[in-house]
């Protein structure tokens, strides 16, 4: 079982540095299918696209992600439409990835795999 699911996101006000690439790759092994990408400013984020049978299933998933995000006080960027949802996660306060991002990714994966 993924140990990240049992962790809680820690509030971040820029009080710790972003993960380096070796740490990112270690955590990435724990979240299946999540891609690590840099944006135009070379700030890393996690991204995953989920597929569904219709719009309502996509919307239901996004609503569940919203509940988890509120509970963790860590909020992803979400794009969704008919049959899909794309989730992008980063820790804005540190301009990079933190353990919180991988915790949230693991918890999002759990709702899909239930």
- Which pLDDT tens digit goes with each residue over 57-100? 999 999 999 999 999 999 999 999 999 999 999 999 999 999 99
Q: What is the pTM of this model?
A: 0.94
Whole-angstrom Cα distance, residue 69 to residue 40? Answer: 25
Query: Which pLDDT score, from 0 to 100, does residue 54 have?
Result: 98
What are the counts of helices (DSSP H) followed by strands (DSSP E) for the chain? Answer: 3, 4
Structure tokens at 27: 């955590």
Q: Where along the chain do its domains lie?
A: 40-114
What is the CATH T-level fold of the domain 40-114, as seen in this structure? Gyrase A; domain 2 (3.30.1360)
As beta bridge partners, residue 78 has 87
For residue 1, pLDDT beyond 80: no
């Amino acid at each position: 079982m993924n140990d990240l699911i049992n962790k809680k996101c820690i509030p971040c006000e820029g009080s710790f540095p972003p993960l380096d690439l070796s740490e990112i790759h270690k955590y990435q092994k724990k979240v299946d299918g999540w891609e690590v990408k840099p944006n135009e400013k070379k700030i890393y984020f996690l991204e995953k696209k989920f597929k569904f049978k219709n719009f309502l299933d996509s919307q239901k998933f996004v609503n569940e992600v919203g509940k988890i995000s509120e509970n963790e006080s860590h909020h992803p960027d979400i794009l969704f439409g008919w049959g899909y949802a794309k989730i992008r996660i980063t820790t804005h306060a540190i301009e990079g990835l933190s353990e919180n991002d991988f915790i949230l990714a693991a918890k999002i994966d759990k709702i899909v795999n239930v």
